[in-house]
A = this chain, B = another copy of it.
Amino acid sequence: MSTKEKILDLAEHYIQHNGYNGFSYHDISSVLGIKNAAVHYHFPKKEELANEVIKKAQVQFENIVEKAEVYDVTYTDKVRRFLTIYDNNLRKENRVCLIGSFATNLDALPPGLNAPLAALVAAIKSWLTMVLAQGREAGEFHFRGSPGQRAALICSGMAGALQLAKILGNEEYYEIKSQLLNDLV
């Protein structure tokens, strides 16, 4: 893995553990055994670094969608596959979700991050809404409210679950996740 990729991974780590304003270039460089200036070579400004982290999440989400289309037969499986994104965050030493982290510190963020962030959230909500709508039409899901409302509930519930897990423990996460799934069928 290249230094650039390692930096990107560490930035992602810190954003999801400390928030955008809770880490510095030095935090990253010291872990890699390099100097803070070397990080600036790869990502001149912190805003660009964060922007790349968002882009990476966008690609990751698109990969999930692609895999779901290819491999998953049922709509339940598609939703479950999507939720593995959150599972992975929990496993990675209790990370909160990327969107929740940015949203929470939004007013102290470089304004340039706003648009890519909104695009990512919109893409996720749009896809999940579609899956829920199709799953309901296929008779697989039976839930109250519109698919869009349900998609919003699932996203916010899972984001909150990761945050609650940081304080009360991981059992909370699994309980919330199972309820969100149970309320679908």
The B-contacting residues of A in range 132-178, CB under 8 angstroms, are: 144-146, 148-150, 152-153, 155-161, 163-164, 166-168, 172, 175-176, 178
Q: Is the CB of B153 within 8 A of A100?
A: no
Q: Which residue, A107, A148, A159, has most C-beta atoms of chain B within 10 A?
A: A107
A176 to B146, CA, bound (A): 11
A101 to B166, CA, bound (A): 12
Number of this chain's copies in the assembly equals 2
A163 to B32, CA, bound (A): 33
Q: Is the CB of B157 within 8 A of A172?
A: no
Partner of A163 from B148, B149, B156, B168 at Cβ < 8 Å: B156
A86 to B168, CA, bound (A): 20
A7 to B183, CA, bound (A): 43
Given known pairs A105-B18, A108-B23, the reply for A175 and B163 (CB within 8 Å) is no
A47 to B106, CA, bound (A): 21
Q: Is the CB of B104 within 8 A of A100?
A: yes
